[in-house]
Chains A and B, each alone.
Chain A
């Protein structure tokens, strides 16, 4: 069975927090290369890792991960403000 591609906001959130891949990797307990794979959406994390990432950033899993292409956060924020 082919796994669906999971889209995520890890790169945007990490840059926003001003932390390196290595620092994030240490916090979520993976190799820093794995963070690169996650950010490029070349690797789908396990449920446990997805929860660890969401706990670290303090956002729900569905905010960070999606099965559809995610809009940039700035675009979503603009839409919410204009509604």
Chain B
């Protein structure tokens, strides 16, 4: 369980690092090739951790299978994970929008717009967040049994 949590953390930390690295590439920071390497390495780390957390464990299949093909335990688990991830995703999107509003208001990098890496990251996040929540809880069900 601890190992899976570490993998989930590394997965999203690499995703964040990729966005930061490509942001520096976008604003044309000197030595941008270093940021390119960091960004591309982060994508590899995201891919490797995705494979071990979501693919090999079957969590991806669980969260992306039609509900009529799931049994009652799997349905309960996926519904709970989807509702949790909906709440988290909404908060993340609102924080990003707030950051954009604040940066334009304070004139910090006003030319920066919603970039392709950011949109890609949000699409990735929306698809993996339910599975990550399941992986984080390691199969524990939402109904706490005494």
Q: Please list the residues of chain A having a beta carbon within 8 angstroms of any beta carbon in chain B.
A: 2-5, 29-31, 34, 37, 41-46, 48-49
Contact = CB atoms under 8 A, between A and B. Distances in A.
11 contacts: A2-B145, A3-B143, A5-B145, A30-B71, A30-B73, A31-B71, A34-B74, A37-B73, A43-B73, A44-B145, A48-B72
Identify whether the interface residues of A are mostly helix, strand, loop, or mixed: loop
> Residue among B72, B143, B144 with the most chain A CB within 10 A?
B72
Given A3-B143, A31-B70, A45-B72, 9 more contacts: A2-B146, A3-B144, A3-B146, A5-B146, A30-B73, A31-B71, A34-B71, A42-B145, A49-B72
B44 interface: no
Nearest to B74: A31
> Residue among B70, B73, B140, B143 with the most chain A CB within 10 A?
B73
B10 interface: no
Nearest to A3: B143
Contacts of A2: 143-146
A4 B73 contact: no
Nearest to B69: A31
A3 B72 contact: no
Interface string B63-88: 00000001111100000000000000
